[in-house]
């Protein structure tokens, strides 16, 4: 299979999978087989591109020229390769988990759920492999629209309100700011192509560069920079597999990926370092990073705490990109993968706890680790990765982000990163301590969400196996971080 065919199949397979899911909706077992089969096939096709990209190739596919010099086109470079591997790879355990969750919780409208899920993955892969800003913007909007039915899945007043917030912020920022930035870039440069070293050097300078960067940063609402972050906690009304999709697989990663790609391939890190146009973004990301961590400390609802944790962790990636240093950019790219694996584990665990015990609040989880040991050990490993402690993958992304801060900007941003990690310990580790070291109150009514203080009472196996796999992934990313580093290294120089 040639690289052009692989690119086309990578993007098309999830959309074809959505069609297949819709056609097999009357037969749940067949529908779920289609979901799992297409996710496996998509990942295999995406993986086939990784070898050539690591060897320096940049496979391209031009589909349609819309205007002279403006085409719907794809190109696979290192950063996009990593995001494509994350999105397609994590679709597999998320699909399995969603099957177990939907069956265990008796969810309605499962066919629509799985079809929209597949559409979202297809849009995410389109973003990952976009060859220019025009293509990226089309798939960015497709991702927003395909996930709206997932956010509003329950159809009640709370879900509809969350959906309005979701669409209002994401479409408002993308049309009001991001599209304006893209048009402005086209007017300045005559191109929207992603190029190593950027396309703006010599064409924009001074405050104009900082303003253009602000339009991109705040226009990419999926990156959840404050004050455009409210859609993310609002969307927690959705089923937990959707939360995993939002926080780890597709949505927020599309946001920070877009910011990072714009900084590397539109502005260029050398240009930003010389002009200082991204200095304001360092402080904006730092404010979001610390503020969201402080808010997370106040949340008793587990998913709400994890949502604000995500807002904070996304700003690690934005901060690393804004530092405009080689180590900062590599650390940001690595954190896309490391955070994805850790946070998907935490959300899987939150859903498993809800399915098994009907508990949502941390204050109700005394002793739950003794009843759900697999789930809570996985939670512990996912938490370590989010904090950035060995032996989990988050150690390495935090390490390179810290090096990036030291490389060009000294103690302040190093202090911000250290403070946020300490706050991560403060809002995650008490959950683990409560689960394993606080005695549970025994109760005798397991049918109504009150479970006994003794005995193993894990969620269904299709919920538990995926979270165990992703927890194992957190450990494997610590041991095998080298290939990710080697993949991303060219984006820090001229070979991206």
45 closest CA partner among 17, 89, 9: 9
- Flag whether 216 is in a domain: no
Q: What is the pLDDT of residue 442?
A: 58
Please, what is the Cα angle at 457 between 451 and 462, to 5 degrees? Answer: 130
Q: How far apart are CA 360 and CA 324, in angstroms?
A: 40
pLDDT at 182: 96
Residue 306 maps to a domain: yes
pLDDT tens digit string along 232-254?
A: 888 877 777 777 766 667 788 89
Question: What pTM was estimated for this model as a whole?
Answer: 0.92
Ramachandran assignment for 198, one of left (phi > 0), alpha (psi -120 to 50 degrees), beta (any other): left
Residue 383 is assigned to a structural domain of this protein: yes
- The confidence score (pLDDT) of residue 331 equals 95
Domain count of the chain? 1
In a domain, 247, yes or no: no
* Assigned token pair, 20: 């297949």
Stretches where the chain sits below pLDDT 70 are 105, 245-248, 409, 441-455, 494-496
Contact status, residue 208 vs residue 269, Cβ threshold 8 Å: no
Q: What is the pLDDT of residue 299?
A: 94
Nearest-CA neighbor of 141 among 156, 153, 130, 157? 130
Distance CA 119, CA 131 (A): 20
Domain membership of residue 288 as a residue range: 279-496
**What is the maximal distance between C-alpha atoms in the chain?**
72
Distance from CA of residue 219 to its chain's centroid? 17
Q: Using the 8-state DSSP alphabet, how is residue 361 labeled?
A: B
Asked if residue 155 belongs to a domain, the reply is no
Confirm whether 447 is domain-assigned.
Answer: yes
Q: Looking up tokens 């969400």, which residue turns up?
A: 449
Q: Which residue has the tokens 């999709």?
A: 245
- Residue 451's pLDDT is what? 43
335 within 8 A of 401, measured Cβ to Cβ = yes
CA R_g for the chain? 21
| Residue 443 DSSP code | -
Q: Given this model, what pLDDT does residue 407 score?
A: 85
Q: How many CA atoms within 13 Å lie on the side-chain side of 339?
A: 32
- Output the CA torsion sign for 95, 96, 98, 99: positive
Residues contacting 197, CB < 8 A, separation 6+:
268, 270, 271, 494, 496
The pLDDT, as a whole number, for residue 345 is: 94
In a domain, 226, yes or no: no
pLDDT at 493: 72
- What pLDDT, on a 0 to 100 scale, did the predictor assign at position 445? 47
Q: Peptide bond before 227: cis, by omega within 30 degrees of 0?
A: yes
Q: Is residue 310 part of a domain?
A: yes
In the chain, count of helices (H) and strands (E)?
Answer: 21, 2
Cβ count within 10 A of residue 291: 16
Region of residue 358 (left: phi > 0; alpha: psi -120 to 50; beta: else): left
């Amino acid at each position: 299979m040639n690289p052009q065919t692989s690119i086309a199949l990578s993007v098309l397979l999830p959309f074809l999978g959505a069609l297949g899911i819709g056609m097999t909706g009357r037969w749940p077992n067949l529908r779920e087989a289609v979901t799992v089969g297409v996710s496996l096939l998509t990942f295999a096709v995406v993986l086939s591109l990784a070898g050539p990209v690591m060897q320096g190739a940049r496979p391209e596919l031009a589909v349609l020229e819309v205007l002279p010099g403006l085409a719907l086109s794809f190109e696979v470079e290192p950063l996009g390769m990593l995001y494509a591997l994350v999105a397609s790879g994590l679709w597999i355990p998320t699909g399995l988990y969603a099957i177990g969750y939907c069956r265990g919780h008796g969810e309605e409208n499962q066919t629509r759920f799985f079809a929209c899920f597949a559409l979202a993955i297809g849009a995410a892969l389109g973003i990952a492999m976009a060859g220019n800003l025009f293509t990226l913007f089309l798939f960015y909007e497709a991702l927003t629209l395909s996930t709206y039915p997932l956010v509003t899945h329950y159809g009640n007043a709370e879900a509809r309100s969350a959906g309005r917030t979701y669409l209002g912020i994401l479409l408002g920022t993308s049309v009001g700011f991001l599209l304006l930035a893209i048009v402005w870039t086209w007017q300045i440069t005559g191109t929207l192509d992603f190029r190593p070293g950027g396309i703006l050097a010599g064409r924009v300078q001074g405050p104009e560069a900082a303003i253009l960067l602000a339009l991109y940063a705040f226009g990419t609402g999926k990156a959840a920079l404050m004050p455009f972050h409210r859609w993310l906690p609002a969307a927690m009304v959705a089923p937990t597999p959707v939360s995993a999709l939002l926080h780890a697989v597709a949505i927020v990663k599309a946001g920070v990926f877009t910011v990072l790609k714009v900084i590397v391939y539109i502005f260029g890190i050398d240009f930003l370092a010389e002009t200082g146009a991204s200095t304001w973004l360092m402080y904006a990301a730092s404010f979001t990073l610390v503020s969201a961590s402080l808010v997370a400390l106040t949340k008793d609802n587990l998913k709400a705490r994890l949502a604000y944790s995500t807002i904070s962790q996304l700003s690690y990636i934005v901060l690393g990109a804004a530092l405009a240093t080689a180590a900062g950019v590599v650390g940001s790219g690595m954190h896309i993968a490391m955070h994805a694996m850790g946070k998907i584990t935490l959300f899987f665990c939150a859903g498993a706890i809800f399915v098994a015990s009907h508990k949502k609040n941390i204050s109700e989880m005394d002793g739950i680790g003794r009843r759900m040991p697999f789930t809570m050990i996985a939670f512990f490993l996912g938490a370590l990765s989010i904090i950035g402690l060995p032996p989990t993958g988050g150690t390495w992304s935090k390490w390179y982000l810290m090096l990036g801060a030291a490389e060009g900007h000294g103690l302040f941003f190093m202090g911000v990163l250290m403070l946020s990690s300490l706050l991560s310990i403060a809002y995650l580790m008490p959950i683990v301590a409560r689960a394993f070291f606080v005695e549970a109150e025994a109760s005798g009514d397991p049918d109504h969400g009150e479970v006994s203080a003794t005995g193993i009472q894990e969620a269904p196996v299709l919920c538990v196996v995926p979270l165990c796999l992703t927890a194992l992934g957190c450990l494997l990313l610590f041991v095998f971080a080298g290939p990710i580093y080697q993949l991303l290294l060219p984006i820090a120089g001229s070979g991206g």
